[in-house]
Amino acid sequence: MAGTLNKVMLIGNLGKDPEVRNFENGGMLVRFPLATTESHTNREGERKESTEWHTIVVRSPRLGEICERHLHKGDKVFIEGKIRSRQWTDDSGQTRYSVEIAADSMTMLGQNPMRQQDRQDRPYGHQDESADELG
């Protein structure tokens, strides 16, 4: 009998700056929305786009710190992780569900044009830490 696999790979843009929670035990949780957009041509020959929103959750302190320092709304990233679903009861007694992507690694891609000027103002030779292959 074959094993199981829970693996997600997404390339998309941050919908807003990461939200960070730090815990007394030294742990941290970073959360941000990621938009992935696909385009296709319909029967009438019109170009259409559809966007899916994913909630990305980072629990690794090392990767979380990199996300907190370097990611901003609009940035393009490559995320690898696992699908996680949660169920809970809210204050009004309603059962709630959420599906999140628990990120194992993150790679920054390209540049956000809105932050390009900020990057050009840095001293010559200065480079951001790479988040490649962190997990």
Report pLDDT digits (tens) over 17-49: 999 999 998 889 999 999 999 998 999 999 999
Which CATH superfamily, name and number, covers 8-118? Nucleic acid-binding proteins (2.40.50.140)
Give the number of C-alpha atoms closer than 13 A to the C-alpha of residue 45, restricted to the C-beta side.
0
Domain residue ranges of the chain, discontinuous segments joined by +: 8-118
Q: What is the dihedral of CA 75, 66, 127, 76, to 10 degrees?
A: -20
Alpha helix positions (H), the chain: 61-70, 116-120
Burial of residue 106 (CB within 10 Å: 0-12, 13-18, 19+) is buried
pLDDT tens string, the chain, 135 residues long: the values are 678 999 999 999 999 999 999 999 888 999 999 999 999 899 999 999 999 999 999 999 999 999 999 999 999 999 999 999 999 999 999 999 999 999 999 999 976 555 554 544 433 333 334 444 433
Contacts of 86 (CB under 8 A, 6+ apart): 97, 98, 100
